[in-house]
Amino acid sequence: MQLAEPFAMTQPAISRHLKVLENAGLIVRRIQGAKRPCRLSSAGIETVDRWLAMLRDALAQNYDRLDGVLADMVENGEELK
Amino acid sequence: MSKLTIKTEGDLHVVVTRHFNAPPQAVYRAHIEPTLIQRWMLGPDGWTMPVCTNEARPGGKIRFEWRGPDGSGFYLTGEYLELEPYSRIVHIERMHLPDTTPDNHVETRFDPDGSGTLMTMRMTLPDAETRSMMLASGMEHGMEASYVRLEGLI
């Protein structure tokens, strides 16, 4: 209920969004009487961070290599063909 | 100096930008001609791409097969949706690790930037749930060897 207050959304809509986040491992929910307190899952967030870091490394290496390929094309006068 | 930027946009997109010191024609061609692709789209050092099928026309098939230093490998398949020489490519791709990852929709733009090119690659990722499965799968199989991503999340 508290999480729904700032948003122009119904409680069931908020619950569906939270369920998606929970299934994705980005938040953790527990049962406390009638309440369902949520917290961010540091492991889930860390996984996303690590994935982005890996993507960045792979792309950086690819594009550094592409710089070399492009330099060869320019040197051989093939860049506008 | 790092020329690469990578950021998430909303829940479903990853946007990558990179400047290249060559005109858009050259950068575009390096993305669709197999003999050029095989020279750079390799991920970490030591990996090669022995198979590169790339039918650069709408509906054309994509198949990239990578081989690692230890002989292991994986592949990517996809299809082209739109090609606008030399400014824009839209395609869908998925990895086979060997489990198949959800489709990753990728729009790549090549815009003149000084005497060079600004490339902007916008990946549209699956929903948060399949994205998390993909993350877990990518971690297990060393998805660092290629895009993504992402090429879905990738």
Poorest-pLDDT segment among A48-57, B23-32, B94-103: A48-57
Residue scoring higher pLDDT (B33 or B141): B33
Q: Are residues A77 and A47 in the same domain?
A: yes
Note whether B16 contacts A68, CB cutoff 8 Å: no
Instruction: Look at residue B154 and tell me if it is in a domain.
Output: no
Tell me how many domains chain B contains: 1
pLDDT at B84: 98
For residues A22 and A55, state if they share a domain.
no
In a domain, A1, yes or no: no
Residue A3 in domain: no
Question: Would the CA dihedral through B24, B26, B32, B36 be positive or negative?
Answer: negative
Contacts for B84 with CB less than 8 Å, ≥ 6 apart: none
- Hey, is A19 helix, strand or coil? helix
Q: Does any domain span residue B153? A: no
User: What was the pLDDT predicted at B18?
Assistant: 92
Is A36 contained in some domain? yes
The model's pLDDT over A30-62, given as tens digits with 9 standing for 90+, comes to 888 888 888 887 777 777 777 777 778 888 899
Residue B145 has pLDDT above 60, yes or no: no
pLDDT number for residue B38: 95
User: Both A14 and A36 in a single domain?
Assistant: yes
Q: Is residue A2 part of a domain?
A: no
Is the same domain home to A52 and A73? yes
From the list B108, B107, B105, B113, the residue with the least C-alpha distance to B131 is: B105
Report yes or no on B64 lying in a domain. yes
- Residue-number span of the structural domain to which A17 is assigned: 9-40
Asked if residue B114 is part of any domain, the answer here is yes
What percent of chain B stands above pLDDT 70? 81
B101 close to B94: Cβ distance less than 8 angstroms = yes
Q: How many domains does chain A have?
A: 2
Asked if the C-beta of A77 comes within 8 angstroms of chain B's C-beta atoms, the answer is: no
In a domain, B104, yes or no: yes
Would you call B128 and A56 a contact, using CB atoms and an 8 Å cutoff? Answer: no
Q: Choose among B42, B128, B150: nearest Cβ to A24.
A: B128
B151 part of a folded domain: no
Confidence (pLDDT) at B75: 94
**Can you give the residue range of the structural domain that contains B11?**
5-145
In this structure, what DSSP letter does residue B51 have?
E
Q: Same structural domain for residues A77 and A58?
A: yes
User: Closest partner residue to B22 among A25, A79, A81, by Cβ?
Assistant: A79
Burial class (CB in 10 A: 0-12, 13-18, 19+), A33: exposed
As a whole number, mean pLDDT of residues B63-83 equals 94
CA distances from B150 to A48, B61, B95, B111 (A): 11, 19, 9, 23
Average pLDDT, chain B: 83
CB B73 within 8 A of CB B96: no
Q: Is A47 on the interface with B (CB under 8 A)?
A: yes
Residue A79 belongs to some domain of the structure: yes
